[in-house]
Amino acid sequence: MRSLRRAFQALLITLLLSFAASAGAKTTATSSSDYTQTRYPIVLVHGLFGFDQLFGTIDYFYGITDGLRSGGATVYEVELSQLGDDVTRGNQLIAQLENLQAVYGYSKFNLIGHSQGGLDIRYAAAVRPDLVASVSTYGTPHTGSAVADGIATLAPTGSAQRALAVAFATALADLIDTFSGGNNPQNALAALSQLSTSGTAQFNAEFPAGMPTSPCGSGLAVVNGIRYYSSGGTSVLTNVLDPSDALLAAGSLFFSGTANDGLVGQCSSHWGTVLRDNYGWNHLDEVNQLLGLRGVFSSDPVAVYRDQANRLKGLGL
């Protein structure tokens, strides 16, 4: 198994270095207005296999960080374990929020999370509501992912397939962690369990703030003084030049024809106030990846995040 893991790492190093070489200059917004100047800092939280910056130059929220800052927002990117459950990742987030508070004196934060990061910020809001002004999630599997359920079925506990999947996932997570300057523990099995239908059901029972009142509806807009928002996409193959689309197309097969972004179902993305659940985005387009490639006629993710910051600004947050 150790030799297999090393082989995966050699392959993934090559892929990641190619990714970095092709990145080029980041998209940068040039507006100098105060359109995004929120009262509280914005903290961006990545999802599964995510990072803050790769190779010190490539933001996970590609172009979005710059777009928010160009309008006056104070923005921080955090890095959590690439693989882990939401209690582990949520506590890592809280520790970083506490550090920002101690260093800069901030009282609260506007948390924005993509994919699993949306679950992590919900955890932080439940455990430390004094630190959180708002929760905004993008493409978050609030009621689980059919992909996680499918992987668990295809690679059952104790099988060679499960061992192979864990080895590959851990090797990828370790490399991303290394190339983003982190030193985080990884737990592929905990991540798979957390993102399953049963795993999120248990999580939601413990942390229900903002839960929709109907299977595909909205939840309370404000709970314990914290505002909750959600958004998501329902497209998969959005740009022929984007190699990640093929992986998301494979993921979409688990959804039996229902609307999804390749990893998360349309209704699963609902939480709190649903701003929009059918953007022409796939799961990576939701954070303007891969390197800004998306559908020609789709909404600009940078503009969408800027609009959300402006919405929070208008509410005094």
Q: Residue 44 has which token pair?
A: 């961006």
What region does 213 belong to: left with phi over 0, alpha with psi -120 to 50, or beta? alpha
Taking a C-beta distance cutoff of 8 angstroms, is the pair 43, 109 a contact?
yes
Residues 231 and 274 sit within 8 Å (Cβ to Cβ): yes
46 given a catalytic annotation = no
In eight-state DSSP terms, residue 40 is S
- Strand 53-54, strand 58-59: pairing: antiparallel
Beta carbons of 139 and 251 less than 8 angstroms apart: no
φ/ψ (deg, to 5) at 102: -65, -40
- C-alpha distances (whole Å) from 40 to each of 18, 43, 101, 128, 315 are 37, 9, 11, 16, 11
| Pairing of β 58-59 and β 42-45 | unpaired
3-state class (DSSP) for residue 38: coil
Backbone CA torsion sign across 134, 218, 52, 148: positive
Among the listed residues 52, 86, 174, 261, the single catalytic one is 261
Contact 151, 176 (CB under 8 A): no
Reply yes or no: is the peptide bond before residue 80 cis, omega within 30 of 0.
no
Identified catalytic residue from 70, 81, 115, 231:
115
**Cβ proximity of 193 and 216 under 8 Å:** no
Residue closest to 112 by CA, chosen among 90, 136, 91: 136
120 catalytic, yes or no?
no
Q: Clarify whether 142 is annotated catalytic.
A: no
191: closest CA among 245, 159, 144, 226? 144
Tokens describing residue 272: 């709190």
* Catalytic option among 46, 114, 142, 283: 283
Query: Is residue 262 within 8 Å of residue 248, measured between CB atoms?
Result: yes
Q: Which residues belong to the active site?
A: 115, 261, 283
